[in-house]
Amino acid sequence: MKELLDLILPRDILACFEVVKVCTTSARIDIYLDEKNIPPAEYSGQGVLSKGFTVPTSIQDFPLRGRAVYLHVRRRKWQLPSGDVVSNKFSLAADGTRYSREFASFLKGILG
């Protein structure tokens, strides 16, 4: 199953996120991903606590079998001992878009 998900999902996303739900209709596939419980590297060993998730971000990816594919990504929030809340930074969407980087690059190649 992991090999199939590696082919479908944007590169390396399964290293940081886990699939929690998949919903399909005749027109679209919605894949829900939650960030794994891995604190930001710059705060490791500082006693950070997971404090839930951010509001989901929706990213459109390559269509599959004629259906639109949307990734709904929730990043974790981490509380530092100081009380500050931080999150990991990921560049899953192309700058200025709601498309995955790979899909945006593909569209740019076709549309110019």
Judge whether residue 42 has pLDDT over 80. yes
Q: Which residues pair with 53 in a beta bridge?
A: 76
**pLDDT for 53-108, tens place per residue?**
999 989 888 888 899 999 999 989 999 989 999 887 776 666 666 666 665 666 66
| pLDDT band of 29, cuts 50, 70, 90 | very high
pLDDT classification of 10: cutoffs 50, 70, 90: confident
Please state, in angstroms and as integers, the Cα–Cα distance from residue 59 to each residue in 68, 69, 86, 99, following that order.
Answer: 11, 8, 22, 5
Q: What is the average pLDDT value for the chain, to the nearest integer?
A: 83
Mean pLDDT of 45-52: 88
- Out of 16-25, 35-44, 84-93, 97-106, which region has the weakest mean confidence (pLDDT)? 97-106
